Structure 1
Amino acid sequence: MEPQLEQIRDQQKQSWNKFSPGWQKWDDFNMRFLKPMGDAIIKKLQVKNGEHVLDIATGTGEPGLTIAALTPTGKVTGTDLAEGMLTVANANATARGITNYETRVADVSELPFSDEIFNGISCRMGFMFFPDVQLATNQMYRVLKPGGRIATSVWASPEHNSWLTTIMGVIQKYIPAPPPVAGAPGMFRCAKPGLIADLFEQAGFTNLSEELISGVIDYGSFDNYWQMMLEVAAPIVAAMAQADDETKAIIKQEVLEKFNAQNSNGEAKLTYASLIISGQK
């Protein structure tokens, strides 16, 4: 892999390890939030008992742990760059009594597996952060058995995801960031319809499908929303670290106003939308 891509990978590893305690703290909430995407992936994979599934960018364990429960005589291998996230995943597996789930620190661009050994591959919200998305896709194709299935989710365009734009729009107003480098990791990097499907097709996958799923997420209160975003979202934490106390207070007030404008009835809900892309080898 090129030095520039290795640098991106190392930055991602450092960032996810740094924020793994925050993800552990908010794990129950985040897993409820992301469950519809995981369920959609699982539906596309059509997991059968006895199969071996690879869950890439497994994070704190989902949807790999749910898949493991669907294949009690099979196995799920969860990979991630961040050891800290996998520590949480293993603890979650133990807490749920799941014994056919294993983890391995691995770079998706250099998967440490033989050719054609997995029956299925899941990847929930990982593609946006891979240094080289085509190289990652090619690696997935390599380790998947003929006839095996792959399914992934990525965030759809910003206008469908007020859970993130509500805070990021205000932060960018007060803390300008340089324009992102083309292809650099980012939340909406893979939001363009057809982008992931094209990667799949170039790698050799067939029977491609893409669908949009959307919904609302209930934060319970603005304070929950604000605190969680400051503890699990690396770009937000990095940006806020540049602001003085006065600017932080202004940002929080404007975010609150935007949040409340979307919840005139006193609720604490924001929208989300994701693309679910699947294929077969």
Structure 2
Amino acid sequence: MTTEFEQIREQQKNTWNTFSPGWRKWDDFTMDWLKPLGEEIISSLKLQPTDTVLDVAGGTGEPGLSIANIVRDGKVVITDLAEGMLQVARDNAAMKGITNYETIVCDACNLPFEDETFDAVSCRLGFMYFPDMLMAAQEMVRVLKPGGRIATAVWGVPAKNFWVTASMGTINRIMQLPAPPPGAPGIFRCGNPGFIASLFEQAGLKNIAETEVTGKLPCGDNDTYWTFTNDVVAPAVAALSKADEETKVRIKKEVFNAVDEKYPDRMAALDYSAVIIYCQK
């Protein structure tokens, strides 16, 4: 891995460890919101009770812990770059009485497993942040048994994800933030239809298909949305940390106005769109 990729990896690791307390705070809310993505991943994997499954970039434990309830005579290995996130996953597993799992801190581009170890691989909302996405896909293929299945979810295009563009669009406009370098890790890096499918094809996978999952981020009111954004959405927090108080007040006001204009019911249930891609080795 190049020095540039190593720097990206360390930046991602530090970011997710820093934000793990926010994810713990919002875990019930966030996991309920993201549940449809996990359900689509699980459905496409066609799991058997004895399967051994790898959940890459598993964060606070999903969909890995839900998979563990299905493969009761098997096992789930949940990996993530951030130990802070995996601690939340372990706490969640303890609360739910789940024991057929383990957590491992590792880089998706360098998985510490033997070839052909796993019956299936899941990865929900991870690919957008991997330094080398093709290398990560190749690693997943390497550790997957012949005939095994991979399923991943990535955020779709910005126009369908007002849950984040409502805040980030306003922040970018008011603060005139520079555009990130082409291909840099970010929420919408993999959103275009066919992007991950092409990556999987390069990695040697077959029977590739994709489907869209849409829904709402159910905040209930603008204040909840603003607090959630400031606790969980790392790019927004990073940008706002550089703004003076007057600018922050203006951004908040304009975000609220944008949400109210799009959703006159004042429930702040903001649209999202994700793409689920599944395939076979």
Please report the TM-score for the alignment, with normalisation by the length of structure 2.
0.99
For residues 241-278 of structure 1, give each alpha carbon's deviation from its aligned partner in whole angstroms, at most 9, with x where no partner exists.
Answer: 11100010000000010111122123221100000100
1:20-31 aligned within 5 A: 20-31=20-31
Residue of structure 2 in register with 1:264 after alignment:
264
Checking the alignment, whether the CA contact within 8 Å between 1:55 and 1:76 is kept in structure 2 is: yes
Unaligned runs of at least 5 residues, structure 2:
none
Cα distance in structure 2, aligned partners of 1:109 and 1:268? 37
Q: Is 1:107 matched with 2:107?
A: yes
Moved over 6 A (4+): none
Cα distance in structure 1, aligned partners of 2:94 and 2:278? 30
Amino acid at match of 1:212: E
Cα distance in structure 2, aligned partners of 1:256 and 1:28? 24
For residues 185-227 of structure 1, give each alpha carbon's deviation from its aligned partner in whole angstroms, at most 9, with x where no partner exists.
Answer: 0000001111100111111110100111111221021111100
Q: Which moved more, 1:76-85 or 1:176-185?
A: 176-185
Checking the alignment, whether the CA contact within 8 Å between 1:175 and 1:242 is kept in structure 2 is: no
Residue of structure 1 in register with 2:8 after alignment:
8
Amino acid at match of 1:185: P
Q: Is 1:251 matched with 2:238?
A: no
* Aligned partner of residue 254 in structure 2, secondary structure: helix
Unaligned runs of at least 5 residues, structure 1:
none
Cα distance in structure 2, aligned partners of 1:267 and 1:85? 30
Amino acid at match of 1:224: T
* Aligned partner of residue 19 in structure 1, secondary structure: helix
- Kindly, what percent of the aligned residue pairs are identical? 53
Residue of structure 1 in register with 2:135 after alignment:
135
Cα distance in structure 1, aligned partners of 2:56 and 2:266? 38
Cα distance in structure 2, aligned partners of 1:3 and 1:243? 30
Cα distance in structure 1, aligned partners of 2:251 and 2:240? 9
Deviation at 1:119, TM superposition (A): 0.2
* Aligned partner of residue 9 in structure 2, secondary structure: helix
Residue of structure 1 in register with 2:202 after alignment:
202
Amino acid at match of 1:55: D
Deviation at 1:230, TM superposition (A): 0.3
Cα distance in structure 1, aligned partners of 2:176 and 2:142? 41
Residue of structure 2 in register with 1:273 after alignment:
273
Amino acid at match of 1:270: L
* Aligned partner of residue 58 in structure 1, secondary structure: coil
Q: Is 1:94 matched with 2:94?
A: yes
Cα distance in structure 2, aligned partners of 1:193 and 1:28? 30
Cα distance in structure 2, aligned partners of 1:28 and 1:261? 28
1:218-233 aligned within 5 A: 218-233=218-233
Amino acid at match of 1:144: L
Deviation at 1:182, TM superposition (A): 1.9
Cα distance in structure 1, aligned partners of 2:235 and 2:266? 28
1:48-197 aligned within 5 A: 48-197=48-197
The number of equivalent residue pairs is: 281
Cα distance in structure 1, aligned partners of 2:108 and 2:146? 19
Checking the alignment, whether the CA contact within 8 Å between 2:222 and 2:267 is kept in structure 1 is: no
Cα distance in structure 2, aligned partners of 1:158 and 1:205? 27
Cα distance in structure 2, aligned partners of 1:202 and 1:263? 41
Checking the alignment, whether the CA contact within 8 Å between 1:38 and 1:62 is kept in structure 2 is: yes
1:37-56 aligned within 5 A: 37-56=37-56
Cα distance in structure 1, aligned partners of 2:176 and 2:105? 34
Please report the TM-score for the alignment, with normalisation by the length of structure 1.
0.99
For residues 159-202 of structure 1, give each alpha carbon's deviation from its aligned partner in whole angstroms, at most 9, with x where no partner exists.
Answer: 10000001111100111222211221000000111110011111
Checking the alignment, whether the CA contact within 8 Å between 1:58 and 1:124 is kept in structure 2 is: yes
Checking the alignment, whether the CA contact within 8 Å between 2:221 and 2:266 is kept in structure 1 is: no
Cα distance in structure 1, aligned partners of 2:149 and 2:105? 22
Cα distance in structure 2, aligned partners of 1:179 and 1:257? 24
Checking the alignment, whether the CA contact within 8 Å between 1:55 and 1:64 is kept in structure 2 is: yes
